[in-house]
Structure 1
Amino acid sequence: MANLQTNENQTTKRGFNLKWIWSDYSVIIAFVIIFIVAALMNDRFLYPQNLINIFMQVSTIGIIALGMTVVMVSGGIDLSVGSVLAMVGVFSVLSLNASGSIFVGLLTALAVGAVVGLMNGLLVAKGKIASFIATLGMMAAARSIALYTADGGSISGDVQGFTNIANTELGMIDLPIIIFLFLTFAMYILMQKTRFGRYVYALGSNEKAALLSAIRVDRIKIGVYTLCGFMVGIAALIETSRLNSISSSSSGNLYELDAIAAVIIGGTRMTGGKGKIVGTFFGVLLLGVLNNMMNLMNISPHLQGLVKGLIIVIAVLFQKRD
């Protein structure tokens, strides 16, 4: 009888461990599986230049997704990131051309992104507007401002050396990849090792409990949206520098959906309180590998959205089973 009970306890413990491993590392497991499948299906996939290209292609969305992770862990969402990227790009190029200084253009991008994020945070925290509605309004407003300022067209940078920001290589690695990796590490430290990170998780888990615990909820909400806007500013700077121009009509289109997809695939719950920066990092890479694999297989780009949508739905279904 004792042996039977011991076997049952071991089975239960083993099952619990397997569930815990899948819950915490499912996105990494999925990434490894898809990576292996892609390598087996096409010899060109493992070429060093192709792998670097994948990183380059996801670096902009990846940086936005890092900021989106913090917002979604807090229980909110930011639908304005794509339009804000276009607006930030327009203002940064205008300031760059007017001043002739790369530093001024860089500072403008970071400042405008942070200010827009601050406005989102104030609308949500002080205005008591649902994050979906507040950022939806900001999405329309930012795109409209970008279109009006650029007369509905594109604006190019006139300062030599501006393109070096996104097109400089350190060894074989492009600078945007290094920035993405550095920001991933910095955001991991922020969310896992600091009081701010603990408060964000507490807010997302139970806002009323966070209030009763003397956490200044409004400040945390404003902080997470400001941080997300700052990250959009960095992404806008990289995107604008890479092309030496920004399109007020097309730049940033659907970036919010790609960022949200990467965050959800990475294991962050839509309701908040659970999520990891590492999960988002691998979620971004997983989407990058999938897009690259479909391109190598000459799959129509019109079908790539279908694949991405199915992955999001599957990821949410697995979250519900946890």
Structure 2
Amino acid sequence: MSLETQKPSQENPMSAEPVAETSRVSPFRRVLNAVGVQNSSLIIALVVLVLIIGSQNSNFFLTNNLLLIGSAVTIMGLLALVQTLVIILGALDISVGSMAGLASVASAMVFQATGGNAGIGMLAALGIGLVCGLVNGMIIIFGRVNPVVATLGTLAAYKGLAQLISNGKSQGYTGADDFFIFLAKGSIAGLPTLVWVFLIVAALLHFLLKYTDIGRNIYAIGGNDTAARLAGININRYIIGVYALVGVVAAIAGILITARTGSGQPVSGSEGLELQAVTGAALGGCMLKGGKGSIVGTVLAVFILGVLDNGMSLLGINPFWQNIARGVLLVVAVVLQQLRSGERRVGLPT
């Protein structure tokens, strides 16, 4: 009896300590924990960058310029979002830009062939994007090819196919179609339609990763594919599914290229999007080895890149420096990730 009466008295102080500690957590600390350290640093970097550029050129803060930044990052941002999923899975997709270019050509050519039916043109583009994504996934699974090598091959193949069916020229004219005009120049509640497309896709992918079993399984596969397989997760199905999703979103980006340019573009508008997408995802906190990353971080990184490009243009800096800046940012982001992970550096003693 004496032991039974003493046991609760020994446990109560222990159970009270965490409650006291929790109650002493400041509101600022709670917000920081909710946002995440990585995202907090991105927010700070974005604010500092905005203040620096704004102090050098007051036109930066004009409403039209801020909306222009949002519209300009949409296409690259969409590809960075799905690149985030692929990287978290522990893979990579180098062919996203080529898929966007192929979808752009398809949307315009089918639009023209059907007498100006925008809906059919867009469905054709989405279908081609889906097929391209499935092909990437199946090459990786059934061909047992490294994702980088597989998508590097399809990068060239999809780009060549877009040039072949278009004869290397822009195709169709969508500049007079109401829906394409709405996509390119319309607005909802003061925000450009392009920005709404980006935010909606980002919200859906954030929900998928954070609040569904599918998202948790994607993180599990990227973190430790062996453990995920032993836990009963069908890794092949997830790889094919994620790459198919990448193809669909790349097709959406291609449709937006068509809307913005008024015609299908086999290369122009999609060239170099692969590097930008990987840079956005890596800068947003994705570990290239997989298992870590977030949509919120990628969104912040995309706007950092957009502000940087816009600021360099406003300040009259040679546009060729933009590619240099993106390359440097990618290297810096990866280096910081490696230093945080504490992994052994290549070629150096531990």
TM-score, normalised with respect to structure 1? 0.91
1:131 is aligned to 147
Instruction: Number of aligned residue pairs: give it.
Output: 310
Q: 2: distance between equivalents of 1:317 and 1:165?
A: 38
Task: Map residues 1-322 of structure 1 onto 2, 5 A cutoff.
Answer: 22-100=37-115, 101-157=117-173, 160-161=177-178, 162-322=180-340
Q: 1: distance between equivalents of 2:66 and 2:157?
A: 37
Q: 2: distance between equivalents of 1:130 and 1:27?
A: 31
Compute the displacement of 1:171 (Å).
Answer: 4.0
Compute the displacement of 1:31 (Å).
Answer: 1.4
**Shift in alpha-carbon separation, 1:97–1:21, aligned structure 2, 3 A:** closer
Q: 2: distance between equivalents of 1:165 and 1:57?
A: 13
**Shift in alpha-carbon separation, 1:224–1:21, aligned structure 2, 3 A:** closer
- Provide structure 2 residue ranges, at least 5 long, that are not aligned to the other structure: 1-20, 22-29, 341-350
Q: 2: distance between equivalents of 1:202 and 1:55?
A: 33
SS of the equivalent of 1:314 reads: helix
Compute the displacement of 1:205 (Å).
Answer: 0.5
Compute the displacement of 1:24 (Å).
Answer: 4.7
Q: 1: distance between equivalents of 2:165 and 2:36?
A: 50
Is contact 2:83–2:92 with CA below 8 Å preserved after alignment? Answer: yes
Partner AA of 2:259 in structure 1:
S
Is contact 1:28–1:279 with CA below 8 Å preserved after alignment? Answer: no
Q: Residues 296-318 of structure 1, C-alpha deviation per residue, up to 9 Å, x if partnerless?
A: 10000111111222211211121
Q: 2: distance between equivalents of 1:21 and 1:160?
A: 44
Compute the displacement of 1:163 (Å).
Answer: 2.8
Is contact 1:114–1:227 with CA below 8 Å preserved after alignment? Answer: yes
Q: 2: distance between equivalents of 1:194 and 1:29?
A: 30
**Shift in alpha-carbon separation, 1:129–1:93, aligned structure 2, 3 A:** same
Is contact 2:72–2:306 with CA below 8 Å preserved after alignment? Answer: yes
Compute the displacement of 1:21 (Å).
Answer: 5.3
**Which deviates the most, 38-47 or 198-207?**
38-47
Is contact 1:167–1:174 with CA below 8 Å preserved after alignment? Answer: yes
- Provide structure 1 residue ranges, at least 5 long, that are not aligned to the other structure: 1-9, 11-16
Compute the displacement of 1:157 (Å).
Answer: 2.4
Is contact 1:82–1:254 with CA below 8 Å preserved after alignment? Answer: yes
Is contact 1:64–1:232 with CA below 8 Å preserved after alignment? Answer: yes
Q: Residues 168-210 of structure 1, C-alpha deviation per residue, up to 9 Å, x if partnerless?
A: 1224321111111111111100010011101110110011111
Compute the displacement of 1:228 (Å).
Answer: 0.8
Compute the displacement of 1:140 (Å).
Answer: 0.6
SS of the equivalent of 2:292 reads: coil
Partner AA of 2:96 in structure 1:
V
Q: 1: distance between equivalents of 2:201 and 2:285?
A: 19
Q: 2: distance between equivalents of 1:210 and 1:109?
A: 34
Q: 1: distance between equivalents of 2:184 and 2:121?
A: 14
Is contact 1:163–1:243 with CA below 8 Å preserved after alignment? Answer: no
SS of the equivalent of 2:171 reads: strand
Q: 1: distance between equivalents of 2:114 and 2:36?
A: 53
Q: 1: distance between equivalents of 2:167 and 2:103?
A: 15
2:25 is aligned to none
Q: Percent identity?
A: 34
Compute the displacement of 1:282 (Å).
Answer: 0.5
